[in-house]
Structure 1
Amino acid sequence: MEPSWRDKALYPILGGITVLLILYLNFDGTSFGFSFTFPALWLPEMGFVGTNSTRFVVAGGGGGGAGRANQSAVYVNGWNSYWLMEESVWGQSRGRVSEMMRRGAGMGMTVCRTWAFSDGDGPNALQRSPGVFDERVFRGLDYVIVEARRNRVRVILSLVNNLNAFGGKAQYIRWAQEDGENVSSSADSFFSHPTIKEYYKAYVKTVVTRKNSMTGVHYFDEPAIFAWELMNEPRGVSESSAPLVQSWITEMAAYIKSLDQRHLVTIGVEGFYGLQTQEKNAVNPGEWASSLGTDFLKNSAIHDIDFASVHAYPDSWIPEAGLDEKVKYLSRWVDAHIRDGDDMLKKPVLFTEVGSSLHQNRQESYQRDMFFKTVYDKIYESAKKRQAGAGALIWQLLVDDMQGYTDQFSFVAWNHLSTYKLIMEQSCRLRRMFVKEETNRKYRHNDPCPSTGS
């Protein structure tokens, strides 16, 4: 029987869709000078992450609306790659982003923390002046989120830097001064001046309500976003900054919640205890840590903060100590914050940066593995007891030939076999712990833990 006219018309349409899908999956259309918009149905289904007391949970069914009876507990093994948006600006460098997501997922890691900010007049700045955005760079962030979801990875998106790199607080203060505002050059102006706070809110609103140019999904509806982070490592000028920082966190966390009720919010603090909690000061790496205007307990207890963030850098914090002393310190640091999550905050505690200097001695791989194993074992024990130690993200991972983003804590994991195996082992033992899982096996690819699931 000769095909009907409908069949003849359908074949080229299906063929065209197939070609476009192949191009998207392998290259992304912007590499060829044009862009595609693909509905989210082309991407894996994922549930939204929430919290249930001290645990992260993912609602079953992918829609995020399931009740507690259909929730799966989640303990996180993940990493940091701050450079993803910048490398996604240009089509020819997007392969590095795709490779990082693929490699991270291939090690069983499920969460990546990255920058969703770049402020100022840099060549790849996202926000060039208050409320003025570079759409080309925004499309790079769109690509990061799409690649994360394709690989079933979720991203923590940090919204501004405490440091001057990529603009940071100092850029916001300069903008206000250039606009004629009577603003002190003190870094604390970022937390207190009304105009600067409005700049930040406008920025946050633009990001949170962004519609992805590739999928048409608003960021506030995107399950591949794990959480919003208010700031990378906020610090005040001194201990007198504490009320300003506390008020700023309270205001900004509530503002994000007014825009987005589906995603978690965290602060980005390093975990130092302030002068207000003197009984905890012995846990700090030094007296200097209590004079930064932050307080882990008081900051993290704010109602709209869904989980606590902690960083861990023994090499930087106690540089003169020997390896054994650093490991003991790290163990105490992790234990103290997990206990706080269980006993006082009643919230998950995520170690969002764990780093080891690679250039301090000739035993760099051994030292790094010792630090990671110390934290990983604490998280694993917490997971077995369903307690607040909810996961760890190592700082930071690169792919090959990325010297421009290298710092003393950065490395290419698959070039360090012992560390690579340690990461995979942590991913797999956390996954095996939970019989009920977030995803069906049919959605998995390159699963490094093939014995898990059903």
Structure 2
Amino acid sequence: MRYSLSIAALAAAGSAFAQSTIPAYGQCGGQSHTGSSLCVSGYHCNKANDWYSQCVPDSASSVSTSASKAPVSSSLTTVVPKPPVSTSKTGSTPKAVTTTAAAGSPFPTKSGTEFVIDGKQGYYAGTNSYWIGFLTNNSDVDLVMQHIASSGLKILRVWGFNDVTTVPSDGTVYFQSFANGEATINTGPNGLQRLDYVVKSAEAHGIKLIINFVNNWTDYGGMAAYFSYAGITSNAQWYNSTKAQTQYQKYIKAVVSRYIDSPAIFAWELANEPRCTGCDLSTLKTWVVNTSRYIKSIDARHMVTTGEEGFGPIPGDDDSYPYQLSAAGSNFTANCEVSTIDFCTYHLYPESWSVTPTLEWGTQYIKLHAKACSAVNKPCLLEEFGASNNCTIESSWQATALTATGTGADLFWQYGDTLSTGKTSQDGNTAYYGDALYSCLVTNHIKAIDSL
């Protein structure tokens, strides 16, 4: 998720439970940060920006960090900064994917490094609307779907999680509760029935959905919502907690089973931007393998992906922070090679990661990830991207992705519209239906795709 240029950010996920000392590369400060600012021995707290400070080695004079955007709260105004991540290479052998949607099947699939939707193989464009499943007005959902479909966009990524630790009393939508030490999946009218309508409307409008199951960040609960229930205190522990993973898989089964026969599902996504700060590199990789296998055991016809940001070394990289072997335990190339992962995701926020120049660095990031996906014969999905000079920079990135063999689709962050309650959240990257930025990122991009 992403950063806001105008809204004060909350503390990053995993910092809700303050520690006496912060581990290497952990968050140690920033606006609204409530945890400790004391770093482990050999590290000091370095301010990256007003929203994020990080524990870096004493020998380092500066460090690039990530304060990537975050989803907005139920009032559609909250944002969360994110810490940077980098990871390591592996020498695993690429394996074949296991989605079994047959030729002529209504289910989206892939062919080599391209996607196939409704029997048509090629490049696709889409967007993100994390909030659509939390709307309570069906007409608003239909309006969004109608506008997206009429624009030529085909893929919509939505939040399939909404976890709470206290059950709201005002009818607020939530999908899973961890109140009073019990985990309860809400299948009622203010629960998964709201997601039901999103899927129903997507089916009616020909839109394909990416639905994820948990958030790395604290927005809408995230992994942190499991902490008290599972007796843990960090995201790093969440990946290895039997109790947390058992309930996470129960939630996955509850969601997947509802839509297992729906042609509107483009893919199931393990998490939004999974990271494992301070973990051994094998931790997140093992979780990717186990979770994707579990989903495939329930539903072999829909694709599965990770939802990661693309961190880790890639041949030809410049060794800037997103490529380094440090921090958050995620390895894009290793995860991409997992046989039960059908396509690979990466996100792009150079300004949040403090790498420059924004346009050129981002262009190279797209090219290198596309090449890495080509090497394993899977499509890359540029799943989120944003920059302050939205039209000029982001449209250039779209053009690069469109021509870079290996990237099969792109989804800009984020879609905006005017609903019955007013305009949806503007987090600094929102393109509202019908405005000038929307024409730049959608109308012009669809024309370029159609001209291929």
Q: TM-score, normalised by structure 2?
A: 0.70
Q: Is 1:333 equivalent to 2:377 in the alignment?
A: no
Contact preservation (8 Å) 1:375, 1:392? no
Q: Secondary structure at the match of 1:291?
A: coil
Counterparts in 2 of 1:315 and 1:279: CA distance versus 1, 3 Å? same
| One of 253, 277, 301 as aligned partner of 1:205 | 253
User: What residue in structure 1 maps to residue 449 of structure 2?
Assistant: 430
Question: 2:412, 2:379 → 1: CA distance?
Answer: 17
Structure 2, gaps ≥5 residues long:
1-103
Letter in 1 for 2:327: S
Counterpart amino acid of 1:302?
V
Once superposed, what is the RMSD of the aligned Cα atoms? 2.2
Q: In 1, distance between residues paired with 2:362 and 2:325?
A: 15
Q: Secondary structure at the match of 1:198?
A: helix
The answer to whether the aligner puts 1:133 opposite 2:164 as a matched pair is: no
Tell me: CA distance 1:285–1:97, structure 2 relative to 1, closer, same or farther (3 Å).
Answer: farther
AA matched with 2:294: Y
> Out of 192, 207, 217, which is 2:240 matched to?
192
What code does the residue aligned with 2:311 have? F
Secondary structure (helix, strand or coil) at the match of 2:267 reads strand
For 2:399, the equivalent position in structure 1 comes to 377
Task: Report the equivalent of 2:431.
Answer: 411
Instruction: Provide, for residues 216-271 of structure 1, a one-character-per-residue CA deviation record: whole Å limited to 9, x for no partner.
Output: xxx11101110001000001122x33211111110000000000011000000000
Deviations along 1:92-120, one digit per CA (max 9) or x if unpaired, are: x3322222111111211000000011011
Q: Return the letter of the residue paired with 1:125.
A: Y
1:144-163 paired onto structure 2 within 5 Å: 144-163=198-217
Q: Deviation per CA, 1:316-358: give whole Å up to 9, x if none.
A: 1227x4xxx2100011100000011112x2110001111224x
1:354 counterpart residue number: 385
Alignment of 1:47-446 (within 5 A): 47-58=106-117, 60=119, 72-87=120-135, 90=136, 93-120=137-164, 121=166, 122=168, 123-129=172-178, 130-136=183-189, 137-177=191-231, 183=232, 185-210=233-258, 219-238=259-278, 240-273=279-312, 277=313, 282=318, 284-286=320-322, 290-318=326-354, 321=356, 325-343=357-375, 345-357=376-388, 367-382=389-404, 387-400=405-418, 402=422, 405-415=425-435, 417-433=436-452
Counterpart contact for 1:46–1:224, Cα < 8 Å:
no
Give the TM-score of the pair, scaled to structure 1.
Answer: 0.70
CA distance in 1, matches of 2:194, 2:323: 41
CA–CA separation in structure 2 for the residues paired with 1:378 and 1:354 = 13
Number of aligned positions between the proteins = 337
Percent identical pairs in the alignment equals 28
- Gaps spanning 5+ residues in structure 1: where? 1-44, 61-71, 178-182, 211-218, 358-366, 434-454
When structure 1 is superposed on structure 2, of 277-286 and 137-146 the one drifting more is 277-286
Higher relative contact order structure (alpha carbons within 8 Å, sequence separation ≥ 6): 2
Aligned equivalents of 2:325, 2:438: Cα separation in 1: 30
CA distance in 2, matches of 1:280, 1:221: 42
- Which protein shows a greater Rg? 1
Deviation at 1:282, TM superposition (A): 2.4
Shift of 1:193: 1.1
**Hey, which bits of structure 1, 4+ residues long, moved more than 6 A?**
none
**Post-superposition shift, 1:314?**
2.1
Q: Which has the higher helix share?
A: 1
Quote how far apart the aligned CAs of 1:190 are.
1.1
What is the CA deviation profile of residues 131-184 of structure 1, one whole-angstrom value per residue up to 9, with x for unaligned ones? 43241121111111111121111110011100011111111122212xxxxx3x
SS in 2 for 1:405: coil
- Asked if the contact 2:416–2:424 (Cα under 8 Å) also holds between the matched residues in 1, the reply is no
